[in-house]
Amino acid sequence: MMPRDNRLSEQRLAELHAEIVSCRRCPRLVRWREEVARRKPKRYADWDYWAKPVPGFGDPEARLLVVGLAPAAHGANRTGRMFTGDRSGDWLYRTLHRFGFANRPESRQRDDGLALRDCYITAALRCAPPQNIPRPEELQNCRAFLEREWSLLGNVRVIVALGQIAYATVLKVFRARHAREASRSFPRFQHGLELALTPRVTLLASFHPSQQNTFTGKLTEPMFEAIFRRARELTETQ
């Protein structure tokens, strides 16, 4: 096996990020993300909203890949960084920090000094969708970005899918990357599911840390922490 060229991978990730940020493939999402930026609430009146597709973020050598649903309208669509500036991000980064995947427990803006260690965060959809509900064709348009990211993140051993849409998207990308697995059947999404995609890559499924799930108790901090505790165990053993 040829040695991996880390600098080339980083360069290609940067090129992919630039392509993602310039994407205008889904007219409905373009209109919505820009409208949100124009009609921002008073609490964010001083913010210059990102209002573009949000690229992935993290360590190019990561063994852990976290896949979310989409940027929040006043979270990553405002700040320009995945899971940054909203309640879901508060849960995620606090947990990543606890298990050594982040250097700090919170994420407020792109230049706040947060760094991920052995972890990379991305999403099934790169633009904030109205009511947080993407259309199938929008997810399909974005899927190639995740496929290319995954191929460039050559050390990935564990994938955490946050929510049913992220779980389904990861499986579709997996089938696209592995033609021989096209007819393979997979279990339905459930929190805590652990699935060996290959001898080297394990998929863990978790409820998304959305307010809808955390405020109702559908997802508790011990439940969420158990997912990342297991992710840490797997990254150390695989």
CATH number for the domain that contains residue 225: 3.40.470.10
* pLDDT of 4: 53
Whether 186 is in a domain gets the answer yes
Domain that holds residue 174: 7-237
Whether 177 is in a domain gets the answer yes
Q: Which amino acid is at 168?
A: A
* pLDDT of 87: 94
Report if pTM > 0.85: yes
Whether 232 is in a domain gets the answer yes
Whether 213 is in a domain gets the answer yes
* pLDDT of 183: 81
Whether 1 is in a domain gets the answer no
Whether 60 is in a domain gets the answer yes
Please tell me the total count of domains within the chain. 1
pLDDT in tens, 2-24: 345 667 778 999 999 999 999 99
pLDDT in tens, 113-149: 999 999 999 999 999 999 999 999 999 999 999 999 9
Whether 134 is in a domain gets the answer yes
- In this prediction, the residues of the chain whose per-residue pLDDT falls under 70 are 1-6, 238
Whether 2 is in a domain gets the answer no
